[in-house]
Amino acid sequence: MIGIMDNRPLFEVEKRLLPREGGWLVKTREIPELGPYRSRLEAIEALYRHVTICTGVLRKEKPERARQFVQHSITECKEPDCELCNALLALAPDANVVQLKA
């Protein structure tokens, strides 16, 4: 698992996700309004990716895993037992996941 998702809870997620016109914006230190994203889950993934890149955590990962992480999309992923999808879903147990893995 990508380091930051494994050993560090994503604190302040509720404060960082802002509903906006039917979608979600992500508030980060570097970018005040990232998005919009169609679903809360997508916004959480974007927040994680942003934090992972900005904190330099991604640089410590193997290039192949870093590439997978950056290119991953929870709404488009088709992998049946995807490590990243499972980690994101665990972070947002209340998120609407109907659109996933239909």
Is 84 a binder of Zn ion (CB under 5 A)? Answer: yes
CB of 20 to Zn ion, least distance (A): 25
CB of 76 to Zn ion, least distance (A): 8
Is 85 a binder of Zn ion (CB under 5 A)? Answer: yes
Which residue among 53, 82, 87, 95 contacts Zn ion (CB under 5 A)? Answer: 82
Task: Tell me how far apart the alpha carbons of residues 79 and 53 are, in angstroms, rounded to a whole number.
Answer: 23
Interface residue list for Zn ion (CB under 5 A): 77, 79, 82, 84-85
